[in-house]
Each structure stands twice: as structure tokens, then as C-alpha cells.
């Protein structure tokens, strides 16, 4: 009988030639456990998904409760499914008055696609401005606004009428014109290696969009749900987009995405033609129930505010390691080691030391720390001890 490893390689489409290949039996809180019972501290959160940890009891209870009531009933938007309505209403209660209409989909890429279609439909324009080193997903539309020529060139032809700007450049706002349908950006660029906006940058885009009738789209797929120490980055920077894109932690560990706008903007998808944007599984009741339960945990336990103290502890403990710089805020951190050449080995060997670390797609000088927001102070110390051994062994050539 072939091993699971062999079957994994033979029957699952592979995303790279070097998958992690851990065989995980169970996950709970901040830990994953493999078949031998070895534990791994999760410093990645499935890439900013498990903000309330793995299998939070409230999330598991909500999923079980919903599974006892109904699963898929009908394509999105036809019948009233209480998990969708309750979740959309709760999100709306936490967002500004201009972000009250939630269109649920299945993933971040799909939410980005919806946002692009919505912006083009509402403005009647084509051009989309995006930023260098932006990541918005792997579907063709999202890839067309990915800020890396390496990835774009591999899959041409792409969607036309896209223009790349430089993040934090004063010139970016000047590129917005009467042809611009939307400017889309991550308010904190994640895969670029956690790049925060300079003071005034988001404001300058906001006012240029207002001047020219273009829509501002924030992709908060990674930054949402407390990750950067605020429920959403738009609260942190006090700049309100016309369309907000959410996914990852939105589903509390289940697949869910959403694009959110005013009712006026969203209504432009309703007609001409009707059913011009539809999804079978978008807003699946299990995912909405899980997401709402997870959001309530984030709010009840004040996890965004607590992320600041946890960030401080990471910074203090990591400052005793061979680390040159730590970028970011809250629990979305890019750690720049003194020797950048150790990063590939650091990530590859981390599981041997009981750690899960990751790279960034577009940044080779840092590795990522983005644990569940529920990580405890003891677990942070424990993770940093493991990281210390790993970095020590790597620099002494073990």
C-alpha cells in the first residue's frame, strides 16, 4: 500500500516542487500535531486564517449546530439563510455607513474578482490601478493586478487596462484619472514583506479617487479581523474604501470571501443583466456560522487590542536573536534576519524544531510571523526558544 506521502505527490496537483509534507492528525489552539504526536507551534495561521486558533470551541459548536440544521440549500442569493443574514448584519454593524452591503463568495480571489467587476460596472470605466508587489489572488483577473512581472508574464495574455503604481509613492495619486474604474490595494501590503502605508499615502489615494470618480478598493484579506491590532486596517488608518474585500479569517477556518460596498454601488450588479454575478456555494451556511462565531470570539476577547502586547513580546524576544529588523504591526510581522541567506533553510527546517514559519511571495529578506491572535504569552516564549535553537544551529552550520 503506497504511503499517504506518495499518494499526495501522485494524486494532488502540486503548487511547487517543495511542499512542506507534514502529515497532520489534529490541530488545536496554537498547535498542529502530526501522526507521531509531535507538536508544531503555528506561527503562520494557515496564512492569516486561524485568527482564533485551530478549532476554537465556539467555532466548532457553531459548525455542528449548523450541520444539524442544513448544509447547501440553493445557489447564493435566492433563499434566506440565517447564517448569511446574521453574519452580514454583524459585519455591517462594525463597518462605516458606506459599507453595508455584503456579497459573500468562497475565497479571496473570488472576492477580488467580484470587486473588480463591481467597480467596472458601477463606474462604466475599465482601468484598474494596482501596486507593485501586491498579491490579490491567483485567478486570471486577480493575477492581472498582481504586482510581480514574474508571475504575470508566465500567464499572459491577462485582463487589459491595468496600470501598476508604486506603493507609498507620491506619484500614485496622480495616475488616477477619469478613465480609472478602481484603485485596489492592500492597506498594509502582506506578501511584499509587510509594508505599511506612509502617513498620508492612503488619504492621497482617497482624495484623488473622489476627485475623479474612481472607486477605492481595500483588500483586507490578510489584514482583517484583528491581524494588525485593529479589527480592520481601515479603522487604523481612518480611510474608508468604496469596496472592502475580505476572506481568510472571515470564515473562522472555513472557506469564505466577501466584497462589501454601499447598497447603491452593490445594486449595480443586480440588473442588466440579472444574474450577472452569481455563485453556487458563496456564503455557505457552515462557513458563515463558523465565521460569525469566530468574529464574536475576536470581539469578546478583545483580540485586536491584545495583539499589541503580543507584538511587543515578540519584538523583545526576537531582539535577542540575530535579527536586523522587524516590520509590521500587531501579529503580522516580517522578521529580517542578519543573514538573509538563512531564510530558505530556516523555513525548511522549522518543522524539525516544532515550528511553522513561512516566506513571503515577493520579499526575500524576511520570514513571516503571523500566529493565531489567541496565542498566549507562554506560547510566544516557547516559540521564540525554538526559533533561537533553530537560528543558532543554522548559524553554527549544523
Contact between 212 and 174 under an 8 Å Cβ cutoff? The reply is no
Rounded least distance, CB 309 to ligand PMP, Å:
25
Interface pick for ligand PMP out of 29, 53, 108, 187 (rule CB under 6 A):
108
User: What residues between 243 and 262 interact with ligand PMP by CB under 6 A?
Assistant: 247
Rounded least distance, CB 378 to ligand PMP, Å:
29
Nearer to ligand PMP, 168 or 349 (CB): 168
DSSP labels, 27-93: EEBTEEEETT--EEEESSHHHHT-TT-BT-HHHHHHHHHHHHH-S--SSTTSS--HHHHHHHHHHHH
Residue with cell 491595468: 162
User: What residues between 333 and 372 interact with ligand PMP by CB under 6 A?
Assistant: none
Active-site positions read 135, 219, 248
> In this structure, how many other beta carbons lie within 10 angstroms of the beta carbon of residue 370?
28
Cell of 19: 511542499
Interface pick for ligand PMP out of 113, 219, 242, 329 (rule CB under 6 A):
219
Measured distance CA(188)–CA(330) in Å, rounded: 12
Nearer to ligand PMP, 122 or 135 (CB): 135
Asked if 100 touches ligand PMP (CB under 6 A), the answer is no
**Stretch in the footprint of ligand PMP (CB under 6 A) among 1-9, 122-130, 215-223, 352-360:** 215-223
Q: Give the 3-state secondary structure of 320-379.
A: CCCEEEEEEECCEEEEEECCHHHHHHHHHHHHHHCEECEEECCEEEEEEECCCCCCCHHH
Interface pick for ligand PMP out of 52, 148, 204, 222 (rule CB under 6 A):
222
User: What residues between 113 and 142 interact with ligand PMP by CB under 6 A?
Assistant: 135-137
Contact between 253 and 53 under an 8 Å Cβ cutoff? The reply is no
Nearer to ligand PMP, 282 or 354 (CB): 282
Measured distance CA(108)–CA(277) in Å, rounded: 16
Rounded least distance, CB 31 to ligand PMP, Å:
23
User: What residues between 34 and 53 interact with ligand PMP by CB under 6 A?
Assistant: 47
- State the binding string over 171-200 for ligand PMP (x if CB under 6 A, else -): ---------------x---x----------
Rounded least distance, CB 137 to ligand PMP, Å:
4
Comparing every residue's Cβ against ligand PMP, the nearest one is 108
Rounded least distance, CB 386 to ligand PMP, Å:
25
Nearer to ligand PMP, 107 or 354 (CB): 107
Interface pick for ligand PMP out of 52, 107, 133, 261 (rule CB under 6 A):
107
Nearer to ligand PMP, 373 or 387 (CB): 373
CB crowding 114-153: b at 16 or more within 10 Å, else e? bbbbbbbbbbebebbbbbbbbbbbeeebbbbbbbbeeebe
380, exposed or middle or buried, with CB in 10 Å at 0-12, 13-18, 19+?
Answer: buried
Applying CB under 6 A, the site for ligand PMP has a residue count of 14
Residue with cell 460596498: 261
Pairing outcome for strands 31-34 and 39-42: antiparallel
Q: Which residues bind ligand PMP (CB under 6 A)?
A: 47, 107-109, 112, 135-137, 186, 190, 219, 221-222, 247
Amino acid at each position: 500500500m503506497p504511503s499517504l506521502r506518495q499518494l499526495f505527490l501522485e494524486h494532488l496537483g502540486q503548487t511547487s516542487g517543495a511542499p512542506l509534507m507534514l502529515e497532520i492528525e489534529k490541530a488545536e489552539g496554537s498547535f498542529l500535531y502530526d501522526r507521531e504526536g509531535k507538536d508544531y507551534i503555528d506561527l503562520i495561521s494557515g496564512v492569516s486564517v486561524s485568527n482564533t486558533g485551530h478549532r476554537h470551541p465556539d467555532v466548532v459548536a457553531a459548525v455542528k449546530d449548523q450541520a444539524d440544521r442544513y448544509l447547501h440549500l440553493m445557489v447564493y442569493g435566492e433563499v434566506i439563510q440565517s447564517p448569511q443574514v446574521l453574519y452580514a448584519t454583524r459585519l455591517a454593524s462594525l463597518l462605516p455607513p458606506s459599507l453595508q452591503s455584503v456579497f459573500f463568495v468562497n475565497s479571496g480571489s473570488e472576492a477580488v474578482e467580484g470587486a473588480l467587476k463591481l467597480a467596472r460596472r458601477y463606474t462604466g470605466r475599465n482601468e484598474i490601478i494596482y501596486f507593485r508587489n501586491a498579491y490579490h489572488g491567483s485567478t486570471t483577473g486577480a493575477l492581472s493586478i498582481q504586482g510581480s512581472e514574474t508571475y504575470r508574464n508566465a500567464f499572459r495574455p491577462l485582463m487589459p487596462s491595468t496600470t501598476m503604481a508604486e506603493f507609498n509613492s507620491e506619484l500614485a495619486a496622480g495616475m488616477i484619472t477619469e478613465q480609472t474604474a478602481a484603485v485596489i490595494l492592500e492597506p498594509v501590503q502582506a506578501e511584499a514583506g509587510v509594508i505599511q502605508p506612509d502617513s498620508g499615502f492612503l488619504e492621497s489615494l482617497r482624495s484623488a479617487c473622489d476627485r475623479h470618480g474612481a472607486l477605492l478598493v481595500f483588500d483586507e484579506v490578510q489584514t482583517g479581523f484583528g491581524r494588525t491590532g485593529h479589527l480592520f486596517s481601515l479603522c487604523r488608518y481612518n480611510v474608508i474604501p468604496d469596496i472592502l474585500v475580505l476572506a481568510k479569517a472571515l470564515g473562522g477556518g472555513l472557506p469564505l470571501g466577501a466584497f462589501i460596498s454601499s447598497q447603491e454601488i452593490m445594486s449595480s450588479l443586480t440588473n442588466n443583466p440579472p444574474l450577472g454575478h452569481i455563485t453556487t456555494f458563496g456564503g455557505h451556511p457552515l462557513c458563515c456560522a463558523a465565521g460569525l462565531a469566530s468574529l464574536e470570539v475576536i470581539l469578546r476577547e478583545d483580540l485586536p487590542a491584545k495583539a499589541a502586547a503580543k507584538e511587543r513580546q515578540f519584538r523583545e524576544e526576537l531582539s535577542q536573536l540575530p535579527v536586523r529588523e522587524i516590520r509590521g504591526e500587531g501579529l503580522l510581522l516580517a522578521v529580517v534576519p542578519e543573514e538573509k541567506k538563512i531564510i530558505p533553510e530556516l523555513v525548511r527546517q522549522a518543522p524539525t524544531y516544532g515550528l511553522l514559519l513561512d516566506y513571503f511571495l515577493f520579499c526575500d529578506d524576511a520570514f513571516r510571523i503571523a500566529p493565531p491572535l489567541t496565542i498566549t504569552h507562554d506560547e510566544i516564549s516557547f516559540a521564540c526558544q525554538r526559533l533561537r535553537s533553530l537560528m543558532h544551529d543554522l548559524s553554527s552550520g549544523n
